[in-house]
C-alpha cells in the first residue's frame, strides 16, 4: 500500500476534494474515517463527504476540555447528517490527570498534555483503521505545507487523506456559505482556530489566524499532524 500511495500521490494532486473522498471511500470502505475537531475546514469537509457517501465514519478526539459551543456543534452534526460521531477519550479523565501530574498541566507542559489528551487517543483510534481523512490545509502551519492530498502517514503508519490540502481559508468559507453548512459560533467571535478552552483565545485585529492557539508559547501544533524530519520515509 505504501508504494501504491507514493505512485498515486502526484496524480491525486489534480483531483477535486470530492474525487479524493470518492477514492478514499471506494478504496477503504469502512476502514476509513474522517477525523475532525469541527473547525471551519472540518465542517466543509464533513458536508462534502455527506454528498459522496451517506454513512461515512467520523470521529473526534474529545480532550474533555472543549468549548460548550464545540460540543453543541457535534450534536448538530449528528442530527444534520444522521450519523453517530465516534468519540475517543484520553485514558485519564481530567481529575485523574490532575492527581497524577498536578494542576494545569497545559500551562506547565502543553506538549505532555497534548500527548496525553490528543496524540495517544488518536494513535489508539488509528490502529482500527487503514486510512484517515483530515481537513488540514497547507497554508495553516509550516508543518502542513508539504501535505499531499493522498500520502503515507509515517508517524501513525497508515494512509492519510487530505482532500482540501490545497484550499485557502476563503474557499472554505465560500463553501460553508454557499452550502449553508453549520459552523462553530465562536468563529463569529474572533476565534478562527478552536481547540481546548485552556489553550485557545480570540485573535486580535491583524494577528495570524492561529495566534489564539497556545498564545504566549512557541507551540503551534498539538502533534497530530507533525512529522519529525528524520522520520520521513
- Residues recognised as catalytic: 222
Residue 130 has a CB neighbour count (10 Å cut-off) of 16
CA pair distance 47, 214, nearest whole angstrom: 29
| Minimal distance, residue 4 CB to ligand SF4, in Å | 34
- List 28, 38, 106, 183, residue binding ligand SF4 (CB under 6 A): 106
Residue of 49, 195, 203, 224 that binds ligand SF4 (CB under 6 A): 195
Residues 122-161, interacting with ligand SF4 (CB under 6 A): none
Is 212 a binder of ligand SF4 (CB under 6 A)?
no
Measured between its terminal Cα atoms, the distance across the chain in Å is: 14
Residue-level length of the chain: 233
- Considering only residues 48-67, where is the footprint of ligand SF4 by CB under 6 A? 63, 65
Check: CB of residue 116 under 8 Å from CB of residue 97.
yes
Asked if residues 124 and 88 have their Cβ atoms less than 8 Å apart, the reply is yes
Pick the closer one to ligand SF4 by CB: 82 or 107.
107
Q: Among residues 42 and 110, whose Cβ is nearest to ligand SF4?
A: 110
CB of 27 to ligand SF4, least distance (A): 32
CA distance 183 to 164: 17
Count the neighbouring beta carbons within 10 Å of the beta carbon of residue 93: 11
Among 12, 24, 58, 114, binds ligand SF4 (CB under 6 A): 114
Whether the Cβ atoms of residue 78 and residue 50 lie closer than 8 Å to each other: no
Q: Does 34 bind ligand SF4 (CB under 6 A)?
A: no
Q: How many residues bind ligand SF4 (CB under 6 A)?
A: 13
Quick one: which of 146, 184, 185 has its CA closest to 162? 146
Q: For 46, list phi and psi in degrees, rounded to 5.
A: -60, -45
Please say which residue, 50 or 140, places its beta carbon nearer to ligand SF4. 140
Q: Any contact of residue 162 with ligand SF4 (CB under 6 A)? A: no
- Report the interface residues with ligand SF4, using CB under 6 A: 63, 65, 106, 110, 113-114, 117-118, 195-196, 198-199, 222
Amino acid at each position: 500500500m505504501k508504494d501504491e500511495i507514493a505512485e498515486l500521490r502526484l496524480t491525486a494532486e489534480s483531483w477535486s476534494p470530492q474525487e479524493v473522498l470518492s477514492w478514499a471511500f471506494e478504496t477503504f470502505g469502512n476502514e476509513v474515517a474522517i477525523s475532525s475537531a469541527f473547525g471551519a475546514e472540518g465542517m466543509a469537509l464533513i458536508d462534502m463527504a455527506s454528498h459522496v457517501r451517506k454513512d461515512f465514519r467520523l470521529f473526534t478526539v474529545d480532550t474533555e476540555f472543549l468549548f460548550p459551543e464545540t460540543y453543541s456543534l457535534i450534536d448538530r452534526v449528528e442530527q444534520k447528517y444522521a450519523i453517530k460521531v465516534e468519540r475517543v477519550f484520553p485514558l485519564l479523565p481530567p481529575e485523574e490527570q490532575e492527581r497524577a501530574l498536578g494542576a494545569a498541566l497545559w500551562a506547565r507542559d502543553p506538549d505532555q498534555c497534548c500527548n496525553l489528551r490528543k496524540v495517544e487517543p488518536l494513535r489508539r483510534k488509528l490502529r482500527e483503521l487503514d486510512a484517515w481523512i483530515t481537513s488540514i490545509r497547507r497554508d495553516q502551519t509550516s508543518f502542513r505545507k508539504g501535505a499531499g492530498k493522498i500520502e503515507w502517514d509515517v508517524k501513525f503508519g497508515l494512509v492519510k487523506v487530505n482532500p482540501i490540502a490545497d484550499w485557502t481559508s476563503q474557499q472554505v468559507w465560500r463553501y460553508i456559505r454557499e452550502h449553508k453548512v453549520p459552523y462553530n459560533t465562536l468563529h463569529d467571535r474572533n476565534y478562527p482556530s478552536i481547540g481546548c478552552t485552556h489553550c485557545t483565545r480570540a485573535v486580535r485585529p491583524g494577528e495570524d489566524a492561529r495566534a489564539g492557539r497556545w498564545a504566549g508559547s512557541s507551540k503551534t501544533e498539538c502533534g497530530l499532524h507533525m512529522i519529525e524530519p528524520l522520520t520521513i520515509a
